[in-house]
Amino acid sequence: MTDPFDILGVEPRFDLDLRALEQRHRDLSRALHPDRYAGAPAAERRLALGRAIETNDALRVLRDPIRRADALLQRAGIARGEEGEQKASPALLMEMMESREELSEAAKRGDPARIARLGGAMRAREQATLAAIQAAFAAAGNDPEQLKGVLAMLSELRYIRRFLDEVSAIEEELADQT
Amino acid sequence: MAYSDKVIEHYENPLNVGTLDKNDEQVGTGLVGAPACGDVMRLQIKVGEGGVIEDAKFKTFGCGSAIASSSLATEWLKGKTIDEAETIKNSMIAEELHLPPVKIHCSVLAEDAIKSAIADFRAKQQAKRELTGAAPSGAAKSAASASAE
């Protein structure tokens, strides 16, 4: 069983209640804790440990919106592999290229205000894309054709994430210098 | 995972980083991205007489292997005709740079960028021919202008 929703026993949906999810994870972890299996046969102990690890992995997947969306698509039989990989639209690539160039210029000049502005704008975009993904999942239901539409948004979200990772890296570097 | 010496060499001293005027009709621009990791790569060629690539520039925001792949690609492109350039395969780049399997997609990205730059250049030339060949004797004229390039 590798589906993270099944492992944690939560309803498969994008707009998960994260607090309920964490609670569910805590309950399961407690039930699977090695102390409880101290007197159990070795095979049972190993099984419990394996399930505890699985539970932790599943939580990590479901906490991350991109991986959560991937897991939902996988359940629907839509693989993200090379074939299903969406080519980004030229407009998106152009925009990302320009934003990255602007960011690298700001980093070169050591302009923290400009970097913060670029980061802020991209974080707003991340929120908007997440909202669009949520709406798309809600509208698509189990229709595979509609679910495929989410792939393009997920790819967009990856470009946005990559940009934000870069912002964090630059900000850390600047902080180290001062 | 360790980078090969060749990747490090290109990463630390990337060749041909920069921009060519994308509105120049002799310039073809390829803009590609890796959806899995969010890397973006721009590769440009300037094509002169006889379809020979006179100059090539790139700008890549991505990992060391992606930068090295595009740096190597621009080096290889210079002096080649666009037909020769089209035969460059990602496997050749991956082999030259000793890319490990997890980084093969970086060389795929570079091959895509070359193809897309060539396609952009050809589309520009096609548009130019259609403009100049709009007259009744268009077919002969456009053939003449194409061979004159």
Model ipTM?
A: 0.77
Structural domain includes residue B146:
no
Cβ pairs bridging A and B (under 8 Å): 43
Per-residue pLDDT band for A132 (boundaries 50, 70, 90) equals very high
Per-residue pLDDT band for B132 (boundaries 50, 70, 90) equals confident
B chain contacts of residue A81, beta-carbon cutoff 8 Å: none
Q: Does the beta carbon of A104 lie under 8 angstroms from any beta carbon of chain B?
A: yes
What is the average pLDDT across A25-43?
90
How distant is the Cα of A66 from the closest Cα of chain B, in angstroms?
Answer: 11
Q: Cα–Cα distance between B52 and B75 in angstroms, integer?
A: 14
At the second CATH level, the architecture of A4-63 is Orthogonal Bundle (1.10)
The catalytically annotated residue of B5, B12, B21, B37 is B37
Identify the helix (H) or strand (E) that includes residue A13.
Answer: none
A chain contacts of residue B33, beta-carbon cutoff 8 Å: 87-88, 92-93, 96, 159
Structural domain includes residue B142:
no
What pLDDT score does A142 carry?
83
Domain carrying residue B104:
5-122
Answer for the pair B106, B65: CB distance below 8 angstroms, yes or no.
Answer: yes
Structural domain includes residue B140:
no
Q: Cα–Cα distance between A93 and B110 in angstroms, integer?
A: 15
Number of H helices, E strands in chain A: 7, 0
Q: Does residue B143 have a pLDDT over 60?
A: no
B37 catalytic residue (yes or no): yes
Domains held by chain B: number: 1
Residues B56-92: pLDDT tens digits? 999 999 989 999 999 999 999 999 999 999 999 999 9
Q: Does the beta carbon of A162 lie under 8 angstroms from any beta carbon of chain B?
A: yes
Structural domain includes residue B73:
yes
Q: Does residue A26 have a pLDDT over 60?
A: yes
Contact A97 B42 (CB under 8 A): yes
% chain B with pLDDT above 90: 68
What is the average pLDDT across A153-169?
94
Q: Which domain CATH number covers B94? A: 3.90.1010.10
Domain with CATH 1.10.287.110 in chain A: 4-63
Per-residue pLDDT band for B12 (boundaries 50, 70, 90) equals confident
Of A90, A93, A162, the CB nearest to B37: A162
At the second CATH level, the architecture of A90-177 is Up-down Bundle (1.20)
Least CA distance to B105: which residue of chain A?
Answer: A82
Q: What string of DSSP letters covers chain B?
A: -PPPHHHHHHHHS-SSBS---TTSTTEEEEEEEETTTTEEEEEEEEE-GGGBEEEEEEEEES-HHHHHHHHHHHHHHTT-BHHHHTT--HHHHHHHHT--GGGHHHHHHHHHHHHHHHHHHHHHHHHHHHHHTTSTTHHHHHHHHHHH-
B63 catalytic residue (yes or no): no
Domain with CATH 1.20.1280.20 in chain A: 90-177
Per-residue pLDDT band for A1 (boundaries 50, 70, 90) equals low
Per-residue pLDDT band for A175 (boundaries 50, 70, 90) equals confident
